[in-house]
Amino acid sequence: DAKTTQPNSMESNEEEPVHLPCNHSTISGTDYIHWYRQLPSQGPEYVIHGLTSNVNNRMASLAIAEDRKSSTLILHRATLRDAAVYYCILRDIGTASKLTFGTGTRLQVTL
């Protein structure tokens, strides 16, 4: 599986936008970029995914670099409930099985 690199931790103030980066320089043309997050004491939950174009949903936006070697998860207005570990994961278009998690980015949100 292609590898992703994320900062260990980030901090944000409540009500401000947060940009969580992910590098995936060895991404293949058939890899989707997925983001999951894990709130304290809970299982991970899906956030968003994309292939080439930027994506928006009710939770977040995903901005994908033109060369696809990096992406950024954008939380438009962070709240205390967004404090979690965010995982950037690559998934091959031809397989729909396991998720390969790294150590993710721990996001702290403060008042």
Partner 1 sequence: DTGVSQNPRHKITKRGQNVTFRCDPISEHNRLYWYRQTLGQGPEFLTYFQNEAQLEKSRLLSDRFSAERPKGSFSTLEIQRTEQGDSAMYLCASSLGLAGGIDEQFFGPGTRLTVL
Residues engaged in binding partner 1 (CB under 8 A) = 30-32, 41-46, 49, 85, 87, 91-104
State in angstroms the smallest separation of the CB of 25 from partner 1. 19
State in angstroms the smallest separation of the CB of 111 from partner 1. 26
> 3-state class of 109 per DSSP?
strand
Between 17 and 102, name the residue whose CB sits nearer to partner 1.
Answer: 102
State in angstroms the smallest separation of the CB of 93 from partner 1. 4
